[in-house]
Amino acid sequence: MTMPAQRTTIRLDRRKFLAAASALVAAGVLPKSALALSGPHSFTHGTFNVMVLSDGTLELPLSIISADAPPEELAALLGLAADAQAAPAEISPVLVTAGSDAILFDTGTGGMMGPNAGGQLVESVKAAGLTADAITKVIFTHAHPDHLWGTIAADGTHVFPNASYHLAEAELNFWSAPDLATQMPADMTDMINNTQKQLTAMKDKIVTFKPGSEVVPGIAAIDTAGHTPGHVSFELAGGDGLILTGDAITVPAVFFAHPEWKFGFDADGEMAGKSRRALLDMAAAGKKQMLGYHWAFPGLGRAEAKDGAFVYVAS
């Protein structure tokens, strides 16, 4: 499994990721969200019970949200003061119960991205009336730290011990490459090492899937590659459909209006922009509900097409 051309592209873009990560630390983070303990946002969709949980929050510097617009324009889109430097972002894993399955979409940071960036998912699962060992499946949108590091605890134990792990084949292949760290800037080594450590601990329970297929009955993976090489979103059947966007659309106030603007953590900004627009087109045409992992809690809304772009309508 080698992807030399893609590697090169990603290596360049990862430099931006690096600068972004440093900025994130320098900017500080918000106090821990109280949402994890206040219980989930629950609703039914088709045959599924859906609970939006909270792992906490992190803070995104405006320079990371997008370098394609002046900070004042971003601040205005976000409804922030003109001199704002950063915007809060939720970390909202979703728990779906279907028949005998309790399915968790992404596992948050595991508290490993700093003391005030997430790490509250297990408490949030409890606040939803379940325990960590009740989770039967964890389905990942991608393997970034704020989506996967809550899977294996620092002592090597499985946080959700009875769960199988479901990850897109392309995403697993990308992060599993033994020489990945050597292909990336040195400052990314620790991040890559922890992700690889977790994936290694997970490996006997990993089930891979391809976009376009159903991961479980009624839950289909949608190819939204670009944010990472194997990034996927999911659609839950029922009604007009419910899309879990993952990080295909991180900040609705910005990227609905400007789908092609590059998000600072996108590995391949151009590909991510195409995936984002395709997802928004599909959601708007089908009047589908959308749930965003980093959107203002609970992150439910719809897209309406307007003037060649989209308007976000909160649900």
Cβ closer to Zn ion: 13 or 146? 146
Look at the alpha carbons of 59, 64, 67, 68 in this order and tell me if their dihedral is positive or negative: negative
Cβ closer to Zn ion: 48 or 295? 295
Using DSSP, how many helices (H) and how many strands (E) does the chain show?
Answer: 10, 16
Closest distance to Zn ion from the beta carbon of 13 (Å): 16
3-class secondary structure per residue, 210-259: CCCCEEECCEEEEECCCCCCCCEEEEECCCCCEEECCCCCCCHHHHCCCC
Cβ closer to Zn ion: 64 or 122? 64
Closest distance to Zn ion from the beta carbon of 188 (Å): 16
Residues within the interface to Zn ion (CB under 5 A): 146, 247
Cβ closer to Zn ion: 98 or 248? 248
Cβ closer to Zn ion: 145 or 301? 145
Closest distance to Zn ion from the beta carbon of 63 (Å): 17
Beta-strand ranges (E) seen in 68-175 are: 86-91, 94-98, 101-105, 137-139, 164-168
Closest distance to Zn ion from the beta carbon of 265 (Å): 7
Closest distance to Zn ion from the beta carbon of 116 (Å): 16
> How far, in Å, CA of 57 to CA of 256, rounded?
21
Between strands 48-52 and 41-45, the pairing is antiparallel
Closest CA to 242 of 207, 283, 295: 283
Tell me the two tokens of residue 11: 């290596």
Closest distance to Zn ion from the beta carbon of 2 (Å): 27
User: What single string gives the DSSP state of each residue in 150-213?
Assistant: TSB-TTS-BSSTT-EEEEEHHHHHHHH-TTHHHHS-GGGHHHHHHHHHHHHHHGGGEEEE-TTS
Cβ closer to Zn ion: 90 or 247? 247
